[in-house]
């Protein structure tokens, strides 16, 4: 780990000013950042500690039916907030299916959004990685590709975004509230993340000094509360990143789908919203054939980035499963193994 | 630049001056305060051996900078037993043979204490296993660990 200057910000304005300087990085829960720093993969000149900024740790239910979650709310606190879990069950399920209890207790919601890819070549300082060093090349290409992207990748980067939480957030039109040197702005979470193209080192649209202060879910997201699920395939039953995951939400009127939401995790460098598939589900009867058609449409443009063709079929099948379970109804309480397909409940 | 911080560790207030902001809470406990019960396993948040209770919640002390903890309360394995004997979780680990080599045990026990404080698992063994999945045991004492957590939780519930 390199030596850095440590600063604790007292206000958002101070954090933004301090975060704008060359090499500055915001520190909140630190669960991903400290890990990266220990591997010398991230070498910040300055850490701006925002973990105790006043006013950023509240879950605020808005008069219009939406919710504003402060940037430093811990993952576990949000998942276990009864009202939040009732209104946004797929989000709670996704949160509880990620990491371990210790990590969820420390990691913040904005930190979850800003976490870096878990591509093993990004994590190995001896490997070439265009994210770490623009122009260096990508050793993942032709390497171990089992868990790499099947959508939106480029020859410069085939990594995936590791978050569970962000998948239902993107499905349900979450917005990041951002404060920065140029003032405040809202960015739809779906557009916050950048696909790799030929600039994989650029991961989000955030400029230097810009700080996520809250994540907002609109009232419409709660309209799916009765039929929303998150499903996750992982290589071990607990405490593992997704091979593939799916967030599905339906509004159903007498077996007819009124509105649908569908997004995938583990398939691309951002949570992948499947809008065409969503449209194709509207006005259709709930049922396996309908869901299979939508799943096929969602993965139509997918292509393997190596020896990972299996992820495409796996994603299709998981989408059918998630839609089927969403149609059956949200869980009153998250299952013992949240979001796992091995749940029999 | 040095950093002054105040921590309450196992009920005792301590003033600490750090000459280096890189010191993790784990290294502060082990290397500077001689509280070596908290173990350094992977040092990357994967094994859970470094689990402590920070302000009432279990966390990985290896991924926590000490400087960011000023004003906080830390509970480590050394602070668990009281004058009247072992903590119920410690007693249950012995009773249920929930360890072999013992290296992961302080982290397992602190994680179990945190789990019981969180109150989310109930008496469901599957929920306990999931909630303990951030603690690895290379000896494979998982069956005993799950039994010990359930037994300790029941005992604490009766006492409450």
In angstroms, the Cα distances linking B155 to A109, A148, B75, B142 are 35, 47, 21, 20
Selected for mutation to probe chain B from A48, A75, A80, A101 (highest B CB count within 10 Å) is A101
Residue B49: is its pLDDT beyond 70?
Answer: yes
The backbone region for B13, taken as left when phi is positive above 0, alpha when psi lies in -120 to 50, beta otherwise, is beta
Percent of chain B with pLDDT over 70: 100
**pLDDT value of residue A123:** 97
Q: Please, what sign has the CA dihedral across residues A237, A293, A167, A228?
A: negative
Per residue in B14-47, pLDDT (tens digit) is: 999 999 999 999 999 999 999 999 999 999 999 9
User: Which chain B residue is nearest to residue A342, measuring alpha carbons?
Assistant: B126
From A31, A47, A74, residue closest to B45, measured CB to CB: A31
* Predicted confidence band of residue A1 (pLDDT cuts 50, 70, 90): very high
User: Which chain B residue is nearest to residue A32, measuring alpha carbons?
Assistant: B63
**Across chain A, what does the average pLDDT equal?**
97
Do residue A35 and residue B44 have CB atoms under 8 angstroms apart?
Answer: yes
Do residue B44 and residue A336 have CB atoms under 8 angstroms apart?
Answer: no
Q: What is the mean pLDDT of residues A252-271?
A: 98
**Whole-angstrom distance, CA of residue A285 vs CA of residue A262:** 17
**pLDDT value of residue A240:** 95
From B65, B129, B130, residue closest to A30, measured CB to CB: B65
Which residues from B are below 8 Å from A336, CB to CB?
Answer: 124, 126-127, 130
Percent of chain A with pLDDT over 70: 99
Which residues from A are below 8 Å from B131, CB to CB?
Answer: 101
Selected for mutation to probe chain A from B57, B104, B119 (highest A CB count within 10 Å) is B57
Q: What is the mean pLDDT of residues A268-294?
A: 98
**pLDDT value of residue B3:** 96
**pLDDT value of residue A344:** 56
**Whole-angstrom distance, CA of residue A106 vs CA of residue B114:** 13
Return the bridge partners of A230, or none.
Answer: A247
**Across chain B, what does the average pLDDT equal?**
97
* Predicted confidence band of residue A85 (pLDDT cuts 50, 70, 90): very high
Residue A40 contacts B where some CB pair is shorter than 8 Å: no
**Whole-angstrom distance, CA of residue A115 vs CA of residue A234:** 19
* Predicted confidence band of residue B1 (pLDDT cuts 50, 70, 90): confident
Q: Is there a contact between A312 and A148 (Cβ–Cβ < 8 Å)?
A: no
Residue B130 contacts A where some CB pair is shorter than 8 Å: yes
Query: B116 vs chain A: nearest CA distance in angstroms?
Result: 12
- Domains of chain B (ranges; CATH) run 3-79 (3.10.20.30), 88-159 (1.10.150.120)
Q: What is the mean pLDDT of residues B109-128?
A: 96
Query: A334 vs chain B: nearest CA distance in angstroms?
Result: 10
Residue A200: is its pLDDT beyond 80?
Answer: yes
DSSP letter string, A290-314: HHHHHHHHHTTT---SSS-THHHHH
Residue A310 contacts B where some CB pair is shorter than 8 Å: no
> What are the structure tokens assigned to A173, written together?
């039109």
> What are the structure tokens assigned to B5, written together?
């911080």
Do residue A238 and residue B63 have CB atoms under 8 angstroms apart?
Answer: no
Residue A51: is its pLDDT beyond 70?
Answer: yes
Q: What is the mean pLDDT of residues A72-85?
A: 98
Which residues from A are below 8 Å from B21, CB to CB?
Answer: 3-6, 47
* Predicted confidence band of residue A289 (pLDDT cuts 50, 70, 90): very high
User: Which chain A residue is nearest to residue B136, measuring alpha carbons?
Assistant: A239
**Whole-angstrom distance, CA of residue A255 vs CA of residue A285:** 6
Q: Where in chain A is the domain with CATH 3.30.390.50?
A: 225-328
**pLDDT value of residue B159:** 86
Which residues from A are below 8 Å from B115, CB to CB?
Answer: 101
From A1, A3, A103, residue closest to B60, measured CB to CB: A103
| Residue carrying the six token digits 């590709």 | A145
Do residue A47 and residue B124 have CB atoms under 8 angstroms apart?
Answer: no
**pLDDT value of residue A13:** 98
Residue A252: is its pLDDT beyond 70?
Answer: yes
Residue A150: is its pLDDT beyond 80?
Answer: yes
**Whole-angstrom distance, CA of residue A210 vs CA of residue A273:** 25
Best CA proximity match to A216, nearest among A245, A191, A187: A187
**pLDDT value of residue B68:** 97
From B57, B67, B133, residue closest to A105, measured CB to CB: B57
User: Which chain B residue is nearest to residue A48, measuring alpha carbons?
Assistant: B68
Q: Is there a contact between B141 and A107 (Cβ–Cβ < 8 Å)?
A: no
Q: Where in chain A is the domain with CATH 3.30.43.10?
A: 5-51
0.90 exceeded by pTM = yes
**Whole-angstrom distance, CA of residue A92 vs CA of residue A90:** 5
**CATH class of the domain at A5-51:** alpha beta
Residue A10: is its pLDDT beyond 90?
Answer: yes
A225-328 CATH choice from 2.30.110.10, 1.10.3720.10, 3.30.390.50, 1.10.10.10: 3.30.390.50
């Amino acid at each position: 780990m390199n030596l850095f200057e440590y600063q604790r910000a007292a206000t958002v304005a101070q954090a933004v000013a301090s975060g704008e300087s060359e090499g500055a990085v915001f520190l909140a829960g630190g669960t991903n950042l400290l890990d990266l720093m220990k591997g010398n993969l991230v070498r910040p000149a300055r850490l701006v500690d925002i973990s105790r900024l006043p006013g950023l740790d509240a879950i605020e239910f808005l008069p219009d039916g939406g919710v504003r979650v402060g940037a430093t709310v811990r993952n576990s606190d949000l998942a276990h907030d009864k009202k939040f879990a009732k209104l946004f069950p797929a989000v709670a399920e996704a949160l509880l299916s990620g990491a371990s209890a210790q990590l969820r207790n420390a990691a913040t919601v904005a930190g979850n959004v800003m976490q870096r890819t878990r591509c093993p070549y990004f994590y190995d300082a001896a490997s070439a990685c265009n994210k770490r060093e623009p122009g260096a090349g990508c050793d993942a290409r032709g390497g171990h590709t089992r868990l790499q992207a099947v959508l939106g990748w480029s020859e410069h980067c085939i990594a995936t975004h590791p978050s569970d939480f962000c998948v239902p957030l993107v499905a349900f039109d979450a917005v990041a509230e951002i404060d920065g040197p140029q003032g405040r702005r809202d960015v739809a979470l779906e557009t916050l993340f950048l696909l790799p193209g030929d600039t994989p080192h650029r991961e989000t649209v955030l400029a230097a000094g810009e700080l996520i202060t809250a994540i907002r879910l609109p009232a419409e997201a709660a309209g799916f509360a009765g039929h929303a699920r998150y499903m996750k395939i992982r290589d071990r039953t607990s405490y593992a990143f997704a091979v593939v995951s799916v967030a599905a939400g339906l509004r159903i009127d007498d077996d007819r789908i009124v509105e649908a939401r569908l997004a995938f995790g583990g398939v691309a460098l951002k949570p992948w919203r499947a809008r065409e598939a969503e449209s194709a589900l509207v006005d259709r009867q709930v049922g396996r054939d309908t869901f299979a058609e939508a799943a096929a449409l969602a993965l139509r443009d997918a292509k393997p980035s190596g020896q990972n063709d299996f992820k495409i079929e796996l994603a299709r099948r998981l989408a059918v499963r998630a839609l089927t379970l969403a149609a059956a109804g949200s869980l009153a309480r998250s299952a013992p193994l949240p979001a796992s397909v091995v749940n029999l409940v | 630049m040095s950093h002054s911080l105040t921590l309450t560790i196992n009920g005792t207030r301590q003033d600490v001056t750090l000459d280096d902001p890189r010191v993790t809470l784990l290294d502060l406990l082990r290397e500077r305060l001689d509280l070596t019960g908290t173990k350094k396993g992977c040092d990357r948040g994967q094994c859970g051996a470094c689990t402590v209770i920070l302000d009432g919640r279990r966390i990985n002390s290896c991924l926590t900078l000490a400087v960011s903890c000023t004003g906080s309360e830390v509970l480590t394995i050394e602070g668990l037993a009281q004058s009247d004997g072992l903590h119920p979780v410690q007693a249950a680990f012995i009773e249920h043979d929930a360890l072999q080599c013992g290296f992961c045990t302080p982290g397992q026990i602190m994680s179990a204490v945190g789990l019981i404080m969180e109150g989310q698992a109930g008496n469901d063994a599957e929920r306990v296993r999931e909630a303990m999945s951030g603690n690895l045991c290379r000896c494979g004492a998982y069956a005993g660990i799950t039994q010990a957590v359930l037994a300790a939780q029941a005992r604490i519930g009766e006492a409450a």
